Amino acid sequence: MNGERPTKPVDAALALVLAVTVVRAVYVLFLSPYALVEDEAHYWEWALRPDWSYYSKGPGVAWSIWLSTSLLGHGEGVIRLPAVIAGGVLALAVARTTSRLYHDQPWKHHAAFVGAALVCLTPAYQLPAILMTIDGPYVACWALAAWMLLVALVPTDPTRRRGNGGALLLFALFLGAGFLYKYTILLMLPGLAGFLLINRRRIAIPGIPAIFASTLLALSALAPVVIWNAQNGWVTVKHLAGHLGLAWGDQPLAPTDGGGWSYDPNWTLELVGTQLGIAGLTIILCVLGIWHARKNGLGPVRLGESLMLWIAVPILVFYLLVTLFTDAETNWPIAGYLTLIPLAARVVAEGVGRWSSRLWKASVVLGVLAGIVLARLDLAAAGARAAGLERVNAGRLLSGPGMGEDFDVLRAQLASETGREPFIVAAHYARASILAYYLPDRPSVVYSASPYAGGRKSQQDFWEDTSLAKPELLGRPAIMLGGLPEHWQPAFERIEAIPNVPSDHKGDRRTLFLGYGYRGFPEDAR
């Protein structure tokens, strides 16, 4: 190098992550046009009532929002700030994993930059970095845990026979933290077990004290969820079973002709298609990376690449199997690609074939365009409607404030008519949360009648202040959003259908009722 100190490209990865994180923070705090989406509003309601766990998820998302809003207030951008931070942590963790994996290669810094860039460019990880759902923190914990596993089990010195106990402790910490956001982080463990079994003679095992301490640390992180569920009838287990369509779950089963297992091939095709839509080029690069790694290993590096592959396989296979029983959500498998991105980055950094360069350039172009579109879906939807695509609607990202104002007007009109203070109840728990946030007297108590309207229970059913069995509600009028007349008639002396509020993005596709003389729901209606 002629005595000159080389510039470390790994600094470029850090600079990229910091720049993207700052831009996202400015965007969510000052520039985002989006109202809270339903999940965000629902988790915000959780944060108002801190607890050890919640009906459908662990406490991680609520604790994160509670911390952010306690420090900075309850604005939409503040609620989303933890997602922005998690997005930065995710990209940096993937970069560090890539650098560690290829620590002795001259292109390792380039690969680290590519790894961070692919995370920032892939739509599957862009959206969780600007909307506060469980996915952003969850995938960040997944990436951190994978990085620490690599450090713990695959030393940079192949002659070292003792693993890194400190890294194993951090793995347990990040695994436990991820569990508090989303339980499926435990799907890392079958992959870890398979890797240990196949490579037991080659890996460096940390000492017994580190293994014991790590196990205790992971179990202690799981404890809040387990204790809360033991006190509440294991409702989260029933909720997860409901997602899988199991008979003992909390979601009513759809009838089938044969009365047993029924499979719709569209479930599998839709999952595969949506994955290609949200991470297509990254997935293709990951596949090329796997092929290249299997064909052209780098000695000791092969062990680390094997670990990355083992971690990825269980979650991807699991959700593919889920589609044999029910429809799977687009975002469910996205953690599985994270440990494959370093292998994709290797292909780009090594310049393997013309296709890798072309795919990388296409990833940059399409990723930037996707980021712009995701930042202003309202403008993209307006453009689509102007082109004649009337069904394209970004209303769910915008309608919250208007609905809050409209329901406040309806509430005042009904109070004037009846002389009693109305309450508001929605047939879906998340729409109740939207109104709780956007009514002018925030935080408002808005009730959910989901179990009475053919849906599943929600966290509102476990709070005293949102219970529809409260005696002080009897005799009062109400405004009911959604549902059918037969859902509401048993609970009121009379009901009246009215035109929907103008700001509701679903328009006349969502029903609206006034209820007079609330007398409570029959217990057997749940």
Domain membership of residue 197 (yes or no) is yes
Name the residue among 374, 475, 376 with its Cα closest to residue 421: 475
Domain membership of residue 246 (yes or no) is no
pLDDT in tens, 272-319: 999 999 999 999 999 999 999 888 776 667 899 999 999 999 999 999
pLDDT in tens, 372-427: 999 999 888 788 777 776 666 677 888 999 999 999 999 999 999 999 999 999 99
- Judgement on whether residues 373 and 425 belong to the same structural domain of the protein: no
What are the residue ranges of helices labelled H in 376-428? 377-386, 400-418
Domain membership of residue 223 (yes or no) is yes
- Judgement on whether residues 305 and 156 belong to the same structural domain of the protein: yes
Query: Taking all residues of the chain, what is their mean pLDDT, rounded to a whole number?
Result: 91
DSSP string, 8-41: -HHHHHHHHHHHHHHHHHHIIIII--PPPPHHHH
Residue 246 has pLDDT above 70, yes or no: no
Domain membership of residue 129 (yes or no) is yes
- Judgement on whether residues 353 and 468 belong to the same structural domain of the protein: no
Reduced to 3 states (helix: H, G, I; strand: E, B; else coil), residue 446 is: coil
Domain endpoint, select from 318, 343, 377: 377
Burial of 296: CB neighbours in 10 Å, binned 0-12, 13-18, 19+: exposed
Domain membership of residue 244 (yes or no) is no
Q: Work out the average pLDDT over 156-183.
A: 92
- Judgement on whether residues 368 and 457 belong to the same structural domain of the protein: no
- Judgement on whether residues 194 and 328 belong to the same structural domain of the protein: yes
Which element (helix H / strand E) includes 472?
Answer: none
- Judgement on whether residues 363 and 214 belong to the same structural domain of the protein: yes
Please state whether 388 falls in left (phi above 0), alpha (psi between -120 and 50) or beta: left
CB atoms under 10 Å from CB of 197, counted, come to 9
- Judgement on whether residues 174 and 41 belong to the same structural domain of the protein: yes
- Judgement on whether residues 131 and 91 belong to the same structural domain of the protein: yes
Summary count for the chain: helices (H), strands (E) = 19, 5
- Judgement on whether residues 366 and 404 belong to the same structural domain of the protein: no
Residue 322 to residue 244: CA distance in whole angstroms: 7
What are the residue ranges of helices labelled H in 296-352? 301-322, 341-350
pLDDT in tens, 25-63: 999 999 999 999 999 999 999 999 999 999 999 999 999
Q: Using DSSP bridges, classify how beta strands 512-518 and 492-497 pair: parallel, antiparallel or unpaired.
A: antiparallel
Domain endpoint, select from 343, 377, 411: 377
Domain membership of residue 260 (yes or no) is no
Q: What are the distances in angstroms from CA 421 to CA 396, 414, 489? A: 28, 8, 20
Domain membership of residue 243 (yes or no) is no
Domain membership of residue 153 (yes or no) is yes
- Judgement on whether residues 132 and 97 belong to the same structural domain of the protein: yes
Domain of residue 160 covers: 9-230+265-377
Residue 462 to residue 96: CA distance in whole angstroms: 42
Domain endpoint, select from 377, 409, 441: 377
Number of domains in the chain: 2
Show Cβ contacts of residue 336 under 8 Å, excluding neighbours closer than 6 positions: 312, 313, 315, 316, 319
- Judgement on whether residues 435 and 359 belong to the same structural domain of the protein: no
